[in-house]
Chains A and B, each alone.
Chain A
Amino acid sequence: MEYDVVIGLEVHSELKTNSKVFCSCKNEFGGEPNTHCCPVCIGLPGALPIPNKEAVKMTIKAGLAVGSKINDIAIFERKNYFYPDLAKAYQISQAVRPICVGGGVEIEDANGQKKFIRLNRIHLEEDAGKLIHNPKIGGTMIDYNRGGVPLIEIVSEADMSSAEEAVAYLAKLRNILQYIEVSDCKMEQGSLRCDVNISLKPKGSSVLGVRAEMKNLNSFRSVTRAIEYEIKRQSRLLDEGEEVVQETKRCDDAINRSFSQRRKEDAQDYRYFPDPDLLPFRIERSLVEEVKKTMPKLREEKIRDYVDNLGLSEYDASVLTNDLNLVKYFDKVISYFNKPKFVCNFILTTLLKKVKEEDEADLVVPISAENFANLLSMYESGQISQAICRELFDEIWETNEDCKKLVEERGLKQNNNEDEIKVMVEALINEFPQSVADYKAGNTKALSFFIGQLMKRTQGKANAQIASKLIKDILDK
């Protein structure tokens, strides 16, 4: 039987405030276990929370970026459950009055059609600590450094219908959150993770099926895998006329497996109620306006900007803007060397390959923008050859040494003297008659062979374009 797949996502993203959401402890990934802690975030008796205004502002910013309505009164509530990583045995979260309501983002579906994914809400809450399973002692340790880190939960409506759409949606959100600089969105560090709700129903039916929830997925791959697995599992059950049981699965990265956490019959009752330590708080319009003023250009605007004002192609602009770090780098480089198309080309062909080679989940270019601009400028103006440019690029990627100085010191300037190159070319032609014959027989590889030999003899300094033209001129005669 054929089924419609119904998917909704709850995306958790850690905000990059300086301090935690209800105390003044440092909000920083890592650190010696239990060193970024105080009576408030480890929930000692008598300690009380004070909301972090910066976290509230960032939540508003996220809401504005996805078109949410900002509530004028928001309420923090307690979500009560026992788990060792939750120091107070309740999480301060938001249920009935979150900071942001509604909104949505646009993605492309499998057919390249635009699809709007509606958001239900964005609310602010605190993260829990981290359990560390320690095989050495055969037990579990708790690190509360992450406890109390501000977290926004972005809840979508169940508008997605495939793993591809879910991933596209997640990528879109990640891009937006990065652009507005409220979160690092480092999935491998858990600063962006998501829960997937998925159910199946007979094609065309309007009755929703029983859903399964998979919690704590922290990579695009695990989201895809989890959804594909669930689709298979649920359709097999339905095909065989069996019942799908409502259940929650947790993907525990510490022990790297997913297990059924609970079934419907023992579903948690979180006993939400307004936190009496945190009175309902008013979000003034003036605060929303203030946040609006700090809103940077989002990706679509940036693409338009690059296409209309810098003359980049739609495709190039789209690749370039996929990552905010790259956008910032690119903007800086062209402020030193204003040839956007040239810079973009080099980034897309050479630089991105390098990033992929190093498999950096977080895109960091180790060459300063100014140094990189100088390198490209020398190449573009013919001061150095392409071969030298590539070599230098590889070198300064490791060292970030001043490329101008290197070119000076090592005498790497390109030889653009046609007469000198001509002498060398003629010598080569005399030396390799077989290659001349190959060339004349139509084998274009022979031309590359000559250029290669020439570069070898000149340590890459000969102008390849001039050489190529000369070789052709001579042999085509």
Chain B
Amino acid sequence: MNIMNETIENVSTMLKNKQISSVELVKDSLSKIEATKELNTLHEVCSESALQKAQEIDDLRAKGQDLPILAGVPIVIKDNISMVGTFTTCSSKFLENYKSPYNATVVDKLLNAGAIIVGKANMDEFAMGSSSETCAFGPVHNPRNPEYVPGGSSGGSAGTVAGNQCFASLGTDTGGSIRQPSSFCGVVGLKPTYGLVSRYGVVAFASSLDQVGPITKSVRDSAIMLDTIAGYDANEFTSAKHSTEHYYENSFKNSVKGMKIGFAKEFFESLQNQEVLQSVMNAIDFFKSNGAEIVDIKLPHINDALAVYYVLSSAEAASNLARFDGIKYGVATTEYKDLIDFYVQSRTQGFGKEVKRRIMLGNFVLSSGYFDAYYNKAKAVQNLIINEFTDAFKQCDVIISPTTPSPAFKIGEKVDNPLEMYLNDIYTVPVNIARLPAMSIPCGVASNGLPLGLQLIGNRFSESTLFNISDYFEKNCFSLREVK
């Protein structure tokens, strides 16, 4: 048995039963990371602090202390999440040497639960991208086939889990950045309801859309992770005052009988890829034959979500990234004519092409004379989309769709075509626009050998429902883990 292939659930039991120590587990994780480092999933490996923390956990366990389920389990976090003692680069040259003096709330929560953070995952620069090729430290490779992209922007986070370098990771999802790479890498990705997981200490891309979520090997592990990181944070004004649900304990009913699954034809109209279509149809058939009801719903403005997304996310990003001016930290040019030139030179040197593209787009839509036509219009369409989902959820419990319009593509294939790259997020973006939760779970394998993903979208704060239906599918219909 290769222990690194196991789920959190299983290794946690082994740790509890002292079949393995946390130090051994961390060592296994570190050697797997070392052996597969050409995947470029991680920017930084925290060997020393991880081993030290593992020893502490082992000591506590030896004393007979009752520890949380994550205690002693190696975890990776995305490199836009602040953690003391590590770099927080957002895979940008600009922040190559930036170390945060404070922890993100999610990091504190993981550490309090005894999780061992072994590394920080590469990503698309400032989370802008769908392939992890805009990472300033080189592209990340898909562990299922290194010639292919792992998706993005949380490509390192998905890759490190799929490559069995750790047991789970945290990603962030602004328009699909957890679900799309999870789909490309064949792992389970959850984008929680906006406000459920704290954003404090997570470097902002688009504040009204960003959400932290887990990437795991199984649906049940996803619930374990969410239990640890969810909850109201007084440091965040947009944090939801939603009471703790104990997802791992309470979600799994092992039945989909009587569930209403929404089918919106708008999701499928533009879908070209037959393998993707077939995998989702198989899933629909499976649910139907197991007692679920398929309900036709209408989401007429769903295809405008991508345009809304690029206006709103770029506007917020332009403002959020303005603080990277070279004055306080980050890249600071040494040669400049005056203050303005200092800003221009530092930012020109520090940011990559895609980031510059979004900043320019964002400042354009915010500028006077264009604000109404773009920003306000986008906000209005966002409201339409929110209302359409609200109506849809009066008729169904979850909405089904593919996660992506195609399986993973080759590194370099789309990097020069931003519009085609943006289309990758066509099914995931509406979820962020409507602040809903959604999961991506493996639902098949394409002819190129790469995984396909199924997206299940829930109503606000219905993560529990998503866990139940996804777990049922994983156990009874399709799982990449059992295929092996």
Give residues in A with beta carbon < 8 Å to B.
39, 42-51, 78, 80, 82, 84, 87-90, 142, 269, 271-273, 276-279
Q: Name B201's closest neighbour in chain A (CB-CB).
A: A46
> How far apart sit A42 and B367, CA to CA, in the bound complex (Å)?
26
Interface presence of B325 (CB below 8 A) = yes
Known: A271-B367, A279-B237. A84 touches B208 (CB 8 A): no
Q: Is the CB of B199 within 8 A of A45?
A: no
Q: Is the CB of A80 within 8 A of B366?
A: yes
Closest to A90 in B: B319
Pick 6 A–B contacts, CB within 8 A, sort by A.
A45-B203, A50-B236, A87-B328, A271-B367, A276-B316, A277-B236
- The proximity string for B residues 185-226 relative to A, scoring 1 for CB distances below 8 Å and 0 otherwise, is 000000000000001111110111000000000000000000
Within 8 A of A (CB), among B85-103: 88, 90, 95, 98, 100-102
B319 touches A271 (CB 8 A): yes
Does the CB pair A47–B200 fall under 8 Å? yes
Given A89-B323, A276-B206, A279-B237, also A45-B315 (CB < 8 A): no
Give chain B residues whose Cβ lies under 8 Å from the Cβ of A42.
Answer: 328
Contacts beyond the supplied A45-B95, A78-B319: 17 A-B pairs with Cβ under 8 Å: A42-B328, A44-B82, A44-B100, A44-B101, A45-B88, A45-B98, A45-B323, A82-B325, A90-B319, A90-B322, A271-B368, A272-B366, A276-B207, A276-B208, A276-B316, A277-B204, A277-B236
Chain B CB count within 10 A is highest, among A42, A45, A48, for: A45
- CA A82 – CA B367 in complex, angstroms? 15
Q: A48-B199, A80-B366 are in contact. Are A89 and B100 (CB under 8 A)?
A: no
From the candidates A39, A80, A273, name the one contacting B322 in the complex (CB within 8 A).
Answer: A80
Q: Decide: A46 and B203 in contact? CB cutoff 8 A.
A: yes
Q: Which residue on chain A has the smallest CB distance to residue B369?
A: A269
User: In the complex, what distance in Å separates the CA atom of A241 from the CA atom of B339?
Assistant: 36
Binary interface encoding of chain B residues 297-327 relative to chain A, with 1 for a CB under 8 A from any of its CBs, else 0: 0000000000000000001101100110101
The residues in B between 343 and 387 inclusive whose CB is less than 8 angstroms from any CB of A are 343, 363, 366-368, 371, 375
Contact status B238-A277, CB under 8 Å: yes
26-77 of chain B: CB within 8 A of chain A: none
Question: Using a CB-CB cutoff of 8 Å, which residues 327-349 of chain B contact chain A?
Answer: 327-328, 339-340, 343
Contact: B322 with A46, CB < 8 Å?
no
Contact of A47 among B201, B318, B375 (CB under 8 A): B201
- B-side contacts of A78, CB under 8 Å: 319
Beyond A46-B202, A47-B200, whether A273 also contacts B319 by CB under 8 A is yes
Q: Which residue of B lies closest to A88 (CB)?
A: B323
Query: In the complex, what residue of chain A is closest to B200 when comparing beta carbons?
Result: A48
- Least CB distance, A144 to chain B, in whole angstroms: 9
Which residues of A have CB within 8 Å of B316?
276
A-facing residues in B235-271 (Cβ within 8 Å): 235-238
- B200 close to A46 (CB less than 8 A): yes
In the bound complex, do residue B100 and residue A48 qualify as a contact, i.e. CB atoms below 8 Å apart?
Answer: no
Interface residues on B, range: 35 or more
Q: Is the interface of B mostly helix, strand, loop or mixed?
A: loop
Cβ of B423 under 8 Å from chain A: no
Task: Assess whether A46 is in contact with B339, with CB atoms less than 8 Å apart.
Answer: no
Q: Compute how far the CA of A44 lies from the CA of B322 in the bound complex, rounded to whole angstroms.
A: 12
A278 vs B207: C-alpha distance when bound (angstroms): 10
The 5 closest A-B pairs by CB, nearest first: A89-B322, A276-B208, A271-B366, A276-B207, A46-B201
Bound Cα distance from A44 to B234, whole angstroms = 18
Q: In the complex, what distance in Å separates the CA atom of A278 from the CA atom of B199?
A: 13
B residues contacting A by CB (< 8 A) are 80-82, 88, 90, 95, 98, 100-102, 104, 199-204, 206-208, 234-238, 315-316, 318-319, 322-323, 325, 327-328, 339-340, 343, 363, 366-368, 371, 375
Known: A49-B237, A50-B237, A84-B327. A44 touches B200 (CB 8 A): no
Q: Which of A47, A48, A142 contacts B237 (CB 8 A)?
A: A48
Asked if B325 contacts A89 (CB within 8 A), the reply is: yes
Q: Are B368 and A269 in contact (CB under 8 A)?
A: yes
Q: In the complex the two chains form, what is the Cα distance from A88 to B345 in whole Å?
A: 18
Q: In the complex, what residue of chain A is closest to B98 when comparing beta carbons?
A: A45
Chain A nearest CB from B129 CB (Å) reads 18
Q: Are B319 and A87 in contact (CB under 8 A)?
A: no
Shortest distance between the CB of A255 and any CB in chain B (Å) = 15
Residue contact B363 to A271, C-beta cutoff 8 Å: yes
Smallest beta-carbon distance B199→chain A, Å: 7
Q: Is the CB of B367 within 8 A of A277?
A: no
> What is the distance, in angstroms, from A292's C-beta to the closest C-beta of chain B?
26
Q: Establish whether residues B366 and A46, one from each chain, have CB atoms under 8 Å apart when the complex forms.
A: no
On whether the beta carbons of B236 and A48 are closer than 8 Å, the reply is yes
Which of A43, A277, A278 counts the most B-chain CB atoms under 10 A from its CB? A277
* Nearest A-chain residue to B376, judged by Cβ: A273
Shortest distance between the CB of B194 and any CB in chain A (Å): 11
CA distance A50 to B318 in the complex (A): 21
- What's the minimum C-beta distance from B354 to chain A, rounded to whole angstroms? 18
Q: Give min CB distance, A53 to chain B, whole Å.
A: 12
Q: How far is the CB of B173 from chain A (nearest CB, A)?
A: 16
Taking CB atoms, residues of chain B closer than 8 Å to A48 are 199-200, 235-237
Q: Please, which residue of chain A has its CB at the minimum distance from the CB of B363?
A: A271
Q: Which residue of B lies closest to A273 (CB)?
A: B366
- Complex Cα–Cα for A45 and B320 (A): 9
> Contact at A277–B322, with CB atoms within 8 Å?
no
Q: CA separation between A343 and B355, bound complex, in Å? A: 70
A43 / chain B contacts, CB cutoff of 8 Å: 323
A469 to B204, CA, bound (A): 86
Complexed CA–CA distance, A78 and B237 (Å): 15
Q: Are B234 and A46 within 8 A (Cβ)?
A: no
Contact B315 A273, beta carbon cutoff 8 Å: yes
Partner among A46, A49, A142, A273 whose Cβ is within 8 Å of the Cβ of B100: A46
Please determine whether A279 and B319 come into contact, CB atoms closer than 8 angstroms: no
Report the Cα distance A47→B318, complex, angstroms: 17
Q: Which residues of B contact A84 (CB under 8 A)?
A: 325, 327, 339
Min distance, Cβ A46 to any Cβ of chain B, angstroms: 4
B63 to chain A, nearest CB (A): 35
- Which of chain A's residues have a CB closer than 8 A to the CB of B237? 48-51, 277-279
CA distance A23 to B24 in the complex (A): 42
CA distance A380 to B88 in the complex (A): 74
User: Cβ of A49: which chain B residues have Cβ within 8 Å of it?
Assistant: 237
Q: Are A45 and B82 in contact (CB under 8 A)?
A: yes
* Complex contact A80–B82 (CB within 8 A): no
- Residue numbers in A under 8 Å from B363 (CB-CB): 271
From residue A41, how far is it (CB to closest CB) to chain B in Å?
12
Decide if B343 touches A46 in the complex (CB within 8 Å): no
Which chain B residues border A276 with CB–CB below 8 Å?
206-208, 238, 316
**Complex Cα–Cα for A117 and B323 (A):** 39
Q: Is the CB of B367 within 8 A of A46?
A: no
What distance in Å separates the Cβ of B261 from its nearest Cβ neighbour in chain A? Answer: 32
Bound complex: CA of A84 vs CA of B327, how far in Å?
A: 7
Does A45 lie within 8 Å of B100, measured CB to CB?
A: yes
